Amino acid sequence: MKIKRALVSVYNKTGIVDFCKELQKLGIEIISTGRTAKLLRENGIRVLEVSEITKFPEMLDGRVKTLHPKIHGGILAIRDKDEHIRQIREQGIEPIDLVVVNLYPFEEVVAKGASLEEAIENIDIGGPAMVRSAAKNYKYVGVIVDPEDYPKILEEIRNTGELSEKTREMLAFKAFLHTARYDAIISNYLGSVFEYGDFPEIFNLSYRKIAMLRYGENPHQRGALYSDGSKKGIANAEFLQGKELSYNNLLDAEAGWKLVNEFKEPAAVIIKHGNPCGVACASDLQEAYSKAYECDPVSAYGGIVAVNGKVTPPLAEKIISVFLEVLCAPDYDKEALKILEKKPNLRVLRVSGDFERIGIRQISGGLLVQDEDLVDLKPEELKVVTKKKPGTKELEDLLFAWKVVKHVKSNAIVLAKDKQTVGIGAGQMSRVDSTEIAIRKAGERSKGSVLASDGFIPFPDTVQKAAEAGVTVIIRPGGSIRDQQIIDAADDLGISMVFTGIRHFRH
């Protein structure tokens, strides 16, 4: 069906003048509104105002302009249905063949910290109505919401005078994606502002694709990266150098970033396959990284590093001295970036933003949604349950280990000393197996260390092995039916034990 009339009303005016000039050259009549019409006229484009068609002025500060039968009748009429054509002719309505609309920038306005009143005024009403009308009637009407589509649409119209059904189908699909995302962002914002909680009856998610990845977890799986539209977190990190990020790189970077931001003092984390293999705090990042690397140099090979401060030249020199896949930091010294360029394959990310408050995971047929595990214990909240009490320095190490263990896959055991992990046992089906792995990793460094267990210890064997390795204090949630038996074992072995009352499972 030949395109004769186009309705153009856009907030994002990128490319719209050149697009409309070409439409005019092709003999297509242009209908427009407000600022779009003004811009087109200023650039020598003939425009028919919507108000000239509706015989009704724009009103209520522009809230009402296109919501009129003479507009929507022209968009929604089924062209090969005689009764529809008869009705619009009786009402003096002419068909509209192309709708070019994009919406008020609600997402951008809210991201800048707008007031509720300003946000409300950036909820588009007429725009989504026109987009949805045109997309519903895609068999006869083309709808463009993305300025990037202008060139290919023009080319098709030049060649054929119309848009193919396949093109109109693609445009309708994009249009409904556009309005669905728009409404999801608005509903999520209002739910937050009006404090209707984080677990609504209908859970809307809206993400925009940033890139296709080379593959997913394995080469035979496809993968893509989507963004929530913010400037926070790993998905929205600034990519400064290196090879293309992989699916697994991004998962490991996320694990490192979440863990390193547990600490206010300088901290470094090395991640391998989703688990930390080294974590440390120190007076500066260079020392923290060195201590994290010392924990398990073998596992650190090809790992992902995250630090919670600016990367300096000395730290950069240490980082490029070994093979690492990704470096995540909130900032970089200019000279440090030059040093990192010596390893051109090292992926370097500048990341901002703290933890998400809600965690989301997909299961077959649905989603699991939960509060993120953000509990931060203080020394006075720990309950000493043994005769022997931990010392001040041991308490510091206990709290350090307790922060680390919640980022290790269950069953998880962490040995730490001087705010440095010395042994980590992750993901075993038996807690005593995780303990044995952590002790083996630590070797002689286990002497004088503390042990953190993410869940309750069911049998005294874990306590026995810890004592034999030289562990002096154990921190754990408590809650086992054999708690007293395990406490008695700790007393008999001369080690301290504290309960948190909080479990840190990670599946």
User: Where would I find the beta strands (DSSP E) of 333-468?
Assistant: 347-350, 358-363, 366-371, 383-384, 413-416, 421-425, 450-453
Q: Which residues contact 52 (CB under 8 A, 6 or more apart)?
A: none
For 40, list phi and psi in degrees, rounded to 5: -65, -45
The secondary structure of 181-225 as a DSSP string is HHHHHHHHHHHHHTT--SS-SS-----EEEEEES-SSSTTS-EEE
SS3 395: helix
d(CA 90, CA 102): 31
71 touches 57 (CB < 8 A): no
Cα 474 from chain centre = 35
Residue 190 tokens, joined: 């209002």
d(CA 90, CA 140): 20
d(CA 196, CA 215): 38
Residue 329 tokens, joined: 């930091």
Q: Is 178 a catalytic residue?
A: no
Annotated catalytic residue within 13, 136, 232, 318: 136
pLDDT of residue 250: 96
- Residue spans in the chain of domains classed CATH 3.40.50.1380: 5-193
pLDDT of residue 122: 85
Tell me the angle at which helices 16-25 and 150-160 cross, rounded to the nearest 10 degrees. 0
pLDDT of residue 453: 95
Q: Which CATH code for domain 379-499?
A: 3.40.140.20
Residue 39 tokens, joined: 């811009």
**Segment-wise mean pLDDT, segments of 10 residues, the chain, 507 residues:** 89 91 92 89 89 76 76 89 87 91 86 85 87 94 94 92 92 94 88 78 84 94 91 92 95 96 96 96 97 96 97 97 96 96 96 83 89 87 94 95 95 96 94 95 96 92 94 93 92 95 90
Beta bridge partners of 452: 414, 475
The one-letter code for the residue type at 421 is T
Beta bridge partners of 348: 241, 327
pLDDT of residue 207: 87
382 touches 398 (CB < 8 A): yes
Residue 498 tokens, joined: 């504290």
Cα 353 from chain centre = 10
Sequence length of the chain is: 507
| Cα 371–Cα 211–Cα 337 angle in degrees, nearest 5 | 85
pLDDT of residue 33: 86
460 touches 486 (CB < 8 A): yes
pLDDT of residue 197: 67
Annotated catalytic residue within 21, 84, 273, 318: 273
CATH class of 5-193: alpha beta
| Cα 409–Cα 456–Cα 418 angle in degrees, nearest 5 | 65
Residue with tokens 């901002």: 352
| Cβ neighbours of 90 (radius 10 Å) | 8
168 touches 157 (CB < 8 A): no
SS3 165: helix
454 touches 412 (CB < 8 A): yes
SS3 167: helix
Quote the pTM value: 0.83
- Residue spans in the chain of domains classed CATH 3.40.140.20: 232-350, 379-499
295 touches 276 (CB < 8 A): no
Per-residue pLDDT of 117-165, as tens digits, reads 888 888 888 889 989 999 999 999 999 999 999 999 999 999 998 899 9
For 39, list phi and psi in degrees, rounded to 5: -60, -45
SS3 368: strand
pLDDT of residue 140: 93
d(CA 221, CA 357): 30
| Cβ neighbours of 350 (radius 10 Å) | 16
d(CA 292, CA 277): 8
Q: Is 166 a catalytic residue?
A: no
Dmax over Cα atoms in the chain, in whole Å?
A: 97
Question: Closest Cα to residue 357, out of 370, 376, 340, 367?
Answer: 370
188: preceding bond cis by omega (within 30 degrees):
no
CATH topology of domain 232-350: Cytidine Deaminase; domain 2 (3.40.140)
pLDDT of residue 356: 75
pLDDT of residue 358: 83
388 touches 480 (CB < 8 A): no
Which pairing describes strands 98-102 and 48-49: parallel, antiparallel, or unpaired? Answer: unpaired
pLDDT of residue 187: 87
Question: Closest Cα to residue 100, out of 169, 217, 182, 15?
Answer: 15
